[in-house]
Structure 1
Amino acid sequence: MEESPKPLDPAVEAQVRARLAALGDVGPMPPEVSARIEAALVDERRLRVARGPLAGQDPDADVLAPLIRSRQRPRPWLAVAAVAAAAAVVAVGGSALHLNNEANPAAVVGVDTAVPGQTAAPADAVHIQLGDTDYVASSFPAQARTSLSHPRPPLHELQAESPALGPIATPTGLRSCLEALGEFPPYDVFADLATYEGRPAAILAVTRQTGTTAYVVKRSCQPGDAQILRDGTPVP
């Protein structure tokens, strides 16, 4: 004889009904949500290996399905409120986006922020290399020009992180050193990690439209302590 379906535990059913009732009237359930729940119930029944294909209706579905249908009943005033709330969210979000765009116009993709009659400044270029030139005071400007005209391959990211090279080997560390020297973008900067008068050093050549200036600093150059070995020297 086929075993009759086991009814839902009354205590569990009462607890479910009490929790749903405590939620109050939250408006109609969206059709797509209720459809997904009912489909999940159907799939769950199909996957129950303990029940045969000819078994009766799932008692859980007998309890949940009416609750789902009751929450699908249309409530016009709730629908109007939902539309109003959505419109408010769009309005507030649009206002916030507008304010953000005003605060940072350069962040807006596709917006030309250039002032008529002015040429946009190009992004500064940074070249950091590991060289073998031993720069000397007597011929420093000429040596700096030669290195600028014939650069070596730039350091790879992993090479730049080597503690032996110092913080100036990374773009961030280099810019911090330049700020300590009083140099600020925009500029093109060439950094040669070589030697100066036989001592490990960093030769920094800063190029702008007005010309090129070269410095020699220790590789541990940092904000507040530029550690200058040779101050700014014009490079012909």
Structure 2
Amino acid sequence: MNQIDSIAYHSKLAWIDPKAKLCFSLVLLCVCIGCRSILVGALVLLVTAGATLFFARLSLRRYLHFLSIPLGFLLVGTLTIFISVYPAGEKLLAGIPIGGSQVGISAQSFLEGLRLCATALGAVGCMYFLSFNTPMTGLFALFRKSPLPEVVVSLMELIYRYIFVLWEEAATMKTAQNARLGYQGIRHSIASFGTLVGTLFFRAYQRCDRIYSALESRGYQGSLEALQEEYQPGKGWYGATFLTAAAALGIFFLERSVL
């Protein structure tokens, strides 16, 4: 979370109107999910990843590192789509006979799995573009101008702040455990990790209570007021949104007509 926040603040698009970037991400996200096409998912991922690498100043290796996190969950989740049980004698790309059936991958299941993976990765690319190029403060300011209730936006801001509270408390406790050789050996590591998890909630709760008391002492009444940043207009991104969405839809309809 700290890394993503730091990257967003150093992005070339950090001070571009968040509404334009949100429109770009959400429109491409809807197109990607609505089409459920391998080519459309690949196009959306290519466009969003390219924009993220260029504007957020990320190396390809670091971007792939971030992409590997959802990719691992995706591969585990789609494993049952790629691999299924089929009657004996059915033609498969790869399979193992077990009794009167066979377990393997058919051409249809392979394409369906690829389609799901491409759609999911395209959607992740859209969200990464928004996350790596838009500081959360800009999104919160945008949400305050939206029809969302004020209390919902305030809760989002507090939850976002408390993520760092939990992270800092966990880092402090782990540093103290390392200083006392708490992670030497498997037995000590398990015991230390269990102690960290068990104590973290209470330590974080106490610190959150102190933060809330500090907010109340400064006049907090359920709404966090902050100075509004001045953003540059992002009109060019609306055009990029239209062109990319039109290209994706064109590929989708062309693919449907061919197949």
TM (normalized to structure 2)?
0.16
Determine which structure has the larger strand proportion and give its number: 1
Higher-helix-fraction structure: 2
Query: Which structure exhibits the higher relative contact order, with contacts defined as CA atoms closer than 8 Å and separated by 6 or more residues?
Result: 2
Pick the structure with greater CA Rg.
1
